[in-house]
Structure 1
Amino acid sequence: MTEQAVDVTAIMLAHAEGPMAGPAFHSLLDAVAHAREAGLIVETLVLLDNPDAATAEAFGAAERYGVRVEQVSYGDHPLVRNHAAAQVSRGYIAFLDGDDLWGENWLVEAHRLCETDPGRVIAHPEVNWYFDQSTYLYFLPDQTDPEFDVYSYIRVANPWDALCMAPVAAYQDIAHIKRSLAEGFAFDDWHWNMETLVAGYVHRVAPDTIHFKRRRAGSQFAAASANKSLPRATPIMDYEWLRQHEDSGRPHAVGDVRSAD
């Protein structure tokens, strides 16, 4: 990636989304254009992971828009995210999946929120609007909301997905874990959310932002749910860690990763 002072790197992952990848890609372009108009320096990258022909075709003209396209062969979204993060040296990373869409103001508002506490905030949209096989709205919780008991909640359910904006260090220091449905492990975003909490990052909601997320049969989420998979273990799952955390009376500093061991 370039060595200039980049504010945000917008990264799309795609593999078999077919024609839906086109609207998703244009939502990224619209958000990037809006961010650049607001004065942000934004780089763009599309990673095609073993793409089918229709998905690869959807990005045939990407370079015309100044977007770099790279093909990889991981066959697993978590590993593609790690590959992408390793190429970024500064600023923030914002991920978008190949059949989801960003609201136009997402990059601007997420970056504004992250800059309120640089290097510590992970930004999420205020609302996820799900479409296709399921249609509903999900209002994401903000960790700083006194009514939200994040440590109790995240032990049993995942409050945030992977389409967030976070400091580069959060992705490089805390890798996404490879899924293994055969062993019953998946939900890398859930695991990553817990690990970032342990490391002291704060998950916030950017006001007036929205993502449009597709729910479809055959997705990695659907496969993991059908398999009744679980995230891999993290310190938050240990009651002794939770007790020590509560007894400390303060959130951990970034990088202060503790466990009951």
Structure 2
Amino acid sequence: MTKIHPSAIVEDGAEVGEGAIVGPFCHVGPKVVLGEGVELKSHVVVAGETRVGARTVIFPFASIGHQAQDLKYRGERATLEIGSDCILREGVTMNAGTEGGGGRTVVGDRCAFLANSHVGHDCILGSNIVLSNNVMIAGHVSVGDNVIMGGGAAVIQFTRVGAHAFVGGLAGLENDLIPFGMVMGNRARLSGLNLVGLKRRNFPREQIHALRAAYKELFESDDGTLHDRARTVKAANPDVPLVQQVADFILEAGDRRMCTPRAAND
């Protein structure tokens, strides 16, 4: 049964799904859609054309769906889509898109956004992502599935973060991060593969070994450019999906810079 606290404001036009709970002092805008079983704990504001997936829980003082923090925004139509079974803890902020970025911000399913984390306009996030406390993602960032970001990490606009990557706490990421990669530091540098994540997700041992060998070829060899080495490891590992995924990510980068290991003399 849907429950709306007497002190909450749900504007005419908003859609509240079966079994949803809108707690004390929440404000739900007229173009918002709350899926089945969504819970707004209290003092939550959901604005704009925002759709929240089933069973997602949003904690106090979260600000969801307001206009982009972009000085070029001129009031154009923009949306925010949040998947099912997500957790948005206290003070989380998520902005809708802009015309220049496709007009939509998208978050997948089963994601956890810890206190005071931020998702900027026009970001496209996959599923099973964890943003720890105070993580800041600027506009136009894409993040693959199963990514974890440590507390206080920051990602600059237009950056791509590959699936299963790990961003260490307080890292400042300004270049693209390969799938399965791990970065540390400010500015962030590639520090190896996310082997813990690979093992936890039960990837086959032989594929992990092949990925480690490909990583050495990509980032510890001086033969040709990084794109040349990506083509080499891709051709040498046609039946290893993990290697193919990393090689394709690099080859699709175009002129974008990749996050690489710190040089010995840095």
Q: Which has the higher contact order (CA 8 A, sep 6+)?
A: 1
Whose helix proportion is higher, 1 or 2?
1
Q: TM-score, normalised by structure 1?
A: 0.28
Greater C-alpha Rg = 2
Q: TM-score, normalised by structure 2?
A: 0.28
